[in-house]
Structure 1
Amino acid sequence: HGEASSTIARVYARIDKPEDQEGLALSGSLEGPFRSDAHTLPARASFLACRPGESLLAEAVLPDPCLWSPDNPALYRAHLELRCGQQVLEERTIATGLRGLGVSGTDLYRHGRRCVVRAVEWTPPGDFDWTEARAAGASFLVDTPGQRLCEAASEAGVVLLVRLGGSVDQLLAAMSRLSAWPAVSIFLFSQGTDCPEDVNQRFPNLLFGEIGPLESTAAPAPWAHLSVYQLPEKTASVPSILPTGRSVMVARQGGERTDWRRGRRECDDLQRELAGSGDLAGYVVLGENNEKTPL
């Protein structure tokens, strides 16, 4: 996690401190940017240990960082070492990016500019043409994706909305595994999911949302930055009953399909139908996933 602007970025690496070991320190380096489709001039910054606390924390400072976006899918490589004195106990290399997505009022912003999500529930197969999806401004709603899919989407500049389910331990494990990938921008949970109350503190650079029927009377969870409401088939009365004062996306069933392009067009249709609903944060078309083997 960390914080970033166009002039400087502070990137933090953190792990829980083992209770039975003393003298541990976290260090390493952060190198980048890298792009799979362009030549870059990578720079390197060192991770330096911060003051001891309940966890091991290290900070790297990047001047003039490249911020990840669909227009500029720049990645960095973090090489981390867990040391006890001069002995390296464990080391790991992680790909990551500076995604900069946040909520202000009813809107989503990426690096200070308002953005609108247009997502299709569809899992890209291994031979997927990510370039076409990025050019179409498409995002994808996927269930607990694998590392290869997240890597491909991050390199291509395509946003993923990730829907998670399971026990609290399973949710935390999945978020820890996926949170470094910049394409993974929003985690979605079904209304009523037992999510840890401190999830925003654990993952401060991620957005969390609830997805459920528009007719639900349940109050939004305190940890949710946004709500995704599944619309009825007839949307004539929707503008008058959508909640106000918070970031809202709308979702509608799109039926069975094998082509994400149709779903992307249906996002535009939904936006036109709800033009009188004010500024919505995004439009999601739900449907059965394709049957090809995902990444």
Structure 2
Amino acid sequence: MSQPNSTPTPKLFYTNLNSVRVSVYASIDDKFCWADGWRIDGDVYGPHCKLSDTLPARIKLQDLGAGKSPLSSAIVPDPCPWSAELPATYKVTTNISQKDKLIQSNVQQLAFKTLTTNSGKLQLTDLNGFTKRWVLRAAAGTVSSALSDGGEECRELRLSRIIVDPDTDDYSRATEQGLWIIAVCNPSESTLQQQLDSLSPWPCVACCILPAETDLNNIQQPDDLLLGTYITNNQVVPDWAELIIADAIDPIKFNSRWDSSVIPVIAHQLTSYNNDRNAREKCAALQASLAPRTNYAGYVISKQPLY
């Protein structure tokens, strides 16, 4: 068999996440056949967290034996899922070899995500395995302003950030220091797949918001990325939407349309605010204006339209 032209960075994924253990895997394309001597080894090292003194452990990646392509795994005990309060990450070192000759080494970041949707709500599972409802409250702004104090005030207020077209530096800082991000994106058709794939590994991304008219028919949606849509007026909710952001201009009309939605709904309002504490108060006021009719999945504000 001919030699592959280049060696890719291994794909990392995990399964069976619970409070006791998680199975972490590393794999490469099936053109690198196990039968031709290709192997992956390495280790998972963590957790690493600026807000905790937890000692990291190093767990070896073990080759899983004969198969179509190389696959290795490690069982990580007592995994620590990522959250703004405990932004834990792991470093995964992978070594790709062929017939015992090292070809390539890589170090990648991995984090365990537990934010999901359920019955019209958002829910989050902590490191003890307890799942509870999580209400999103966020204000549009910058990562820099939210992290000017290391993110302490936003954590105290339980306030997240809406970021329009965030970049890698935003994701990296928010992941390390503990800040939930709502990524508002408007990619072209040619860059959509790449952008979704690049967003998926970052645990700080609570959800990615796309215009309702975005066509995902030929897109492979990442498993670990919640996709939401921004709905205005009488737009139809696209089939791919896992959550909805909608303008709450008139509380009566808003409740009439959305209070029975089976998809989580996040109420959005244009308003002014001069700091994060004031922004959090505006989120609370928005929630109060829509109560007691129902409780939505979140309440977010911005000074400018999202699109």
- TM-score category (smaller protein): 0.7 to 0.9
Structure-2 residue corresponding to 1:114: 133
Residue by residue, what CA displacement relative to the aligned partner does 1:58-117 show, whole Å, maximum 9, x if unpaired?
A: 432211111222222211111223333334443322223212111111111111211000
Give the one of 189, 197, 220 matched to 2:238. 220
> Greater CA deviation, 107-116 or 88-97?
88-97
Q: How does 1:47-58 map to 2 (within 5 A)?
A: 47-49=61-63, 52=67, 57-58=71-72
Deviations 1:131-158 (Å, cap 9, x if unpaired)? 1111110111113322332222122222
Structure 2 partner of 1:293: none
Distance 2:28 2:234 in 1: 41
Query: Is the alpha carbon distance of 1:28 and 1:267 closer, same or farther for their aligned partners in structure 2, counting shifts above 3 Å?
Result: same
**Offset, 1:236:** 3.1
**What do residues 140-190 of structure 1 show as CA deviations (whole Å, max 9, x unaligned)?**
111332233222212222211112222345222223333222111211111
1:151 is matched with which residue? 172
Q: What SS does structure 2 have at the residue aligned with 1:272?
A: helix
CA contact 1:76–1:97 (8 Å) conserved in 2: yes
* Counterpart contact for 2:91–2:110, Cα < 8 Å: yes
Sort the Cα spacing of 1:26 and 1:194 in 2 relative to 1 into closer, same or farther, 3 A.
Answer: farther
Quick one: structure 1 residues 19 and 84, their matched pair in 2 at CA, closer, same or farther if it must change by over 3 Å? closer
Alpha-carbon distance, 1:15 to partner? 4.7
Instruction: Return the alpha-carbon distance in structure 1 between the equivalents of residues 200 and 224 of structure 2.
Output: 9
C-alpha separation between the residues in 2 aligned to 1:225 and 1:56? 33
Q: Which residue is 2:5 aligned to?
A: none
Partner of 2:23: 10
Identity score, percent: 25
Taking structure 1 as the reference length, the TM-score comes to: 0.84
Distance 1:20 1:74 in 2: 34
Gaps of 5+ in 1: 290-295
- Going from structure 1 to structure 2, the CA distance change for 1:11 and 1:288 (only over 3 Å counts) comes to farther
**Pairs within 5 Å for 1:140-289:** 140-196=161-217, 199-200=220-221, 203-216=222-235, 218-221=236-239, 223-231=240-248, 233-242=249-258, 243-255=260-272, 259-288=275-304
Shift of 1:56: 5.8
Does structure 2 conserve the Cα–Cα contact (< 8 Å) formed by 1:24 and 1:82? yes
Task: Name the CA distance, whole Å, in 1 between partners of 2:209 and 2:27.
Answer: 24
Residues 55-134 of structure 1: pairs in structure 2 closer than 5 A: 57-111=71-125, 112-125=131-144, 128-129=148-149, 130-134=151-155
Work out the CA distance in 1 between the residues paired with 2:218 and 2:296: 26
Quote the residue 2:128 is aligned against: none
Higher normalized contact order (CA 8 Å, seq sep 6+, divided by chain length):
1
TM-score using structure 2 length:
0.81
How well do the aligned residues superpose, as a CA RMSD in angstroms? 2.7
Give the AA of the match of 2:243.
L
Q: Which residue of 2 aligns with 1:40?
A: 54
The 2-side partners of 1:198 and 1:23 are apart by: 33
Distance 2:233 2:29 in 1: 39
CA distance in structure 2 between the partners assigned to 1:82 and 1:63 by the alignment: 24
CA distance in 1, matches of 2:85, 2:223: 24
8 A Cα contact 1:240 1:277, kept in partner: no
Greater C-alpha radius of gyration: 2
Contact 1:186–1:207 under 8 Å retained in 2: yes
Task: Report the 3-state secondary structure (helix = DSSP H, G, I; strand = E; otherwise coil) of the residue aligned with 1:276.
Answer: coil
CA–CA distance in 2 between the matches of 1:172 and 1:263?
Answer: 33
Q: Distance in 1 between matches of 2:111 and 2:132?
A: 18
CA distance in structure 2 between the partners assigned to 1:288 and 1:197 by the alignment: 31
Give, in whole Å, the separation in 1 of the partners of 2:82 and 2:293.
Answer: 30
CA contact (8 A) 1:29 1:46 kept: yes
> 8 Å contact 1:8–1:63 — kept in the other structure?
yes
> CA offsets, 1:117-141, max 9 Å, x none?
0011111227622111111101111
Greater shift in the superposed pair: 70-79 or 161-170:
161-170
Please give the alpha-carbon distance, in whole angstroms, between the structure 1 residues aligned to 2:70 and 2:119. Answer: 34
Cα deviation for residue 196 of structure 1 reads: 4.8
